Amino acid sequence: MTLTDIINKYPFCKQASSARYDKACREWARREKLRTGDENGDFKITEKPRAEYPRPQMERSNFDILNGSWDYAVISASEYVRKGGRVDKTDGRILVPFSPECDASGVGRILDRNEVLIYRTSFNFAGRGKILLHFEAVDEKCEVFVNGVSQGVHEGGYLPFYFDVTSACREGANALEVHVVDFSDSCPAPKGKQTLSRGGIWYTPQSGIWGSVWTETVPENYIENVVCLPDPDGAQVNINITACGDIGEVTIKIYDEGREIISAKGAAGDNVVKLGAIKEWSPSSPFLYKVLIKSESDSVRTYFAMRKIELVTDMRGYKRVKLNGEYIFQSGVLDQGYYPESMLTPPSDRAMINDIQTMKDCGFNMIRKHIKIEPARWYYHCDRLGMLVWQDMVSGGDKYNFAVIGALPFAGVMLDDTRHYKAFARADETERENYKKFVGDTVKYLRCFPSIVLWCIFNEGWGQFDSVAMTDYVRSIDDTRLIDSVSGWHDQGAQHFDFKSYHIYFRKFRMPKKEKRCVILSEFGGYSMPVKGHMQMPHKIFGYKIFRDEKTLRESIDKLYTHEVVPAIGQGLCASVYTQLSDVEEEINGILTYDRKVNKAGRELLNNINDRLYFEHEAYTTHADRQAEEELAAKEEEKDPFEE
């Protein structure tokens, strides 16, 4: 399979630009050019952006970040096929890892589905060992060439991949080309909120390289992957090592804040290491064990944490969540992960840290990462800063049919997702299998980040299918986390689902009666306010409920929590997710403006709200358990002592 084969598979690749494309380009051209920062000013984008090692869970010392200025060209798919994929033209320079659609790239144009984006740069090879070429994310189908030799094709815009390019390399400089097509919402591949029909809650599509690119030099026989699977109950960790070739015996060293506490011998495969007394990870104490794995010729650094998330039934019969054996109320924000100058790509490490720390400073202990997979360093910062994460799968499927998927739930109609594949935009069996594989690959990629405590498989019905079977599938890969199987709409009433999940925007939230599952308010709020000078689309704002002044907005947010969320805790509510962390394009319902420079809700108010949520939850769970225990003891005392 080559990129040419992929182009020939889709007839629209050779059609003229659509009216939707032309409209999206016109609208995008009207954007205001904002820069991410804080109240002190802009965050700088360097000439070599995101230069930190991209993969904190398997870090090597011999690497070279290729982010920076590359040549690029855009040609029609028809011309690309006619020339056999060999194109000499150059349109200018592009700053990698930023998509050509965004301002940070220096380009600022939308790639159409009938175009091919070509990148060119070079990298060095010392001529010793092997050289691996890594891509954090390329949207959406690409072919990679080194010195004119194809290294392979990758499909899928959200997961990392790499090629062993040693056989194509020579000592010294080597030419690298990446050829990309992106069909946006014209095919059922996972795409999230990208669409040419942008506007409201749907965002401008982007394409090409949007994650870091790097090379690393490894020996002939090397450590290919490391998966750390903690077992807090057993006070041990299983460190699974995958090797390329025979790496022989390895030494595993575990560190507690720089002090070596364990040194053990191991090999490729499972290595169960006993820890003895353990330090647990939590938002208030995000302790990470550091690990060094060393073979005769290779070494990598990683980390893990000890934490256990579980559902329990409290003494009143409500399902609730426990973290490390203690009840916890998760108060979170929905986070789309977009930035004004760089879209899906965080402009810097500092920008990622700022988002997480700002929410933590506002009292939130959880972020729901909404329909996006972040760079590995984002999850690492959640791990080290102590922020719980609910991870959504990236949505896909055919055209979103709001009349069926969205409107029916408001009328109380929930479709059976094992029978209505077409209605859910999942008519194609092959695409259902492809999505199942994507979900599995996502879980396998992210399962070692301790901050992630929940997987969300389907959101609001889009692309939903066989949710009971999909829940079992995810649980077969990772049974250490909770699962929001069908977030918001089209609940299948399956009692083995972990949650009854609600999205409430246009009516008052009321707790269900006699619900046996754990109840979560997985989206609510969305209160909006325009802030002059901090909007990307000031001519076209969108929000569910728009306020014109800060005082009214803050009073309304306070009332929403006070009258609807806080009282529900005593009736079994165990988590809430406010929409949302920041504005995105014309959607102005963020706590923060799109550039992150204004906190519309106010840090003091949000801290006060979160303090009330945690206090109410602790008071209820403590009181309920104590009262139930007293009632049980009283019943025991009332028993006839002579009764068998």
Q: What is the pLDDT of residues 128-156, one digit of tens each?
A: 999 999 999 999 999 999 999 999 999 99
Residue 130 tokens read as 């092997």
Q: Where are the domains of the chain?
A: 47-218, 222-297, 309-628
Task: Tell me the mean pLDDT in the region 235-252.
Answer: 97
Give the pLDDT score at 187. 85
CATH fit for domain 309-628, picks 3.40.50.300, 3.20.20.370, 1.10.357.10, 3.20.20.80: 3.20.20.80
CB neighbours (10 Å) of residue 633? Answer: 10
User: Does residue 437 surpass a pLDDT of 90?
Assistant: yes
Q: Based on the number of CB atoms within 10 Å of its own CB, is 347 exposed (0-12), middle (13-18) or buried (19 or more)?
A: buried
Please check whether residue 411 is in contact with residue 389, taking contact to mean a CB–CB distance below 8 angstroms. Answer: no
Task: Tell me the mean pLDDT in the region 158-184.
Answer: 97
Q: What angle do CA 58, 581, 456 make, to 5 degrees?
A: 60
Residue 533 tokens read as 């000078």
Which carries the bigger pLDDT value, residue 253 or residue 86?
Answer: 253
Q: In 3D, which of 222, 175, 166 has the Cα closest to residue 66?
A: 175
Q: What percent of the chain has pLDDT over 70?
A: 97
Alpha helices per DSSP H over 332-388 = 349-361, 376-385
Average pLDDT along the chain = 94
CB neighbours (10 Å) of residue 71? Answer: 16
Give 644's pLDDT tier (boundaries 50, 70, 90). very low
User: Does residue 399 surpass a pLDDT of 80?
Assistant: yes
Which carries the bigger pLDDT value, residue 644 or residue 565?
Answer: 565
| Cα–Cα dist 566/570, whole Å | 8
Give the pLDDT score at 400. 80
User: Does residue 504 surpass a pLDDT of 70?
Assistant: yes
CATH fit for domain 222-297, picks 2.60.40.10, 3.40.50.720, 2.30.30.100, 3.40.50.300: 2.60.40.10
Give 643's pLDDT tier (boundaries 50, 70, 90). low
Mapped to the 3 state alphabet, what secondary structure does 51-108 carry?
CCCCCCCCECCCEEECCEEEEEEEEEHHHHHHCCCCCCCCCEEEEECCCCCCHHHCCC
User: Does residue 412 surpass a pLDDT of 90?
Assistant: no
Q: Based on the number of CB atoms within 10 Å of its own CB, is 171 exposed (0-12), middle (13-18) or buried (19 or more)?
A: exposed
Residue range 47-218, CATH number = 2.60.120.260
Prediction pTM value: 0.96
Give the pLDDT score at 640. 58
Range with the poorest average pLDDT among 9-23, 75-89, 293-307? 9-23
Q: What percent of the chain has pLDDT over 90?
A: 86
- pLDDT, tens digit (0-9, with 9 covering 90-100), for 186-224: 888 999 999 999 999 999 999 999 999 999 999 999 999
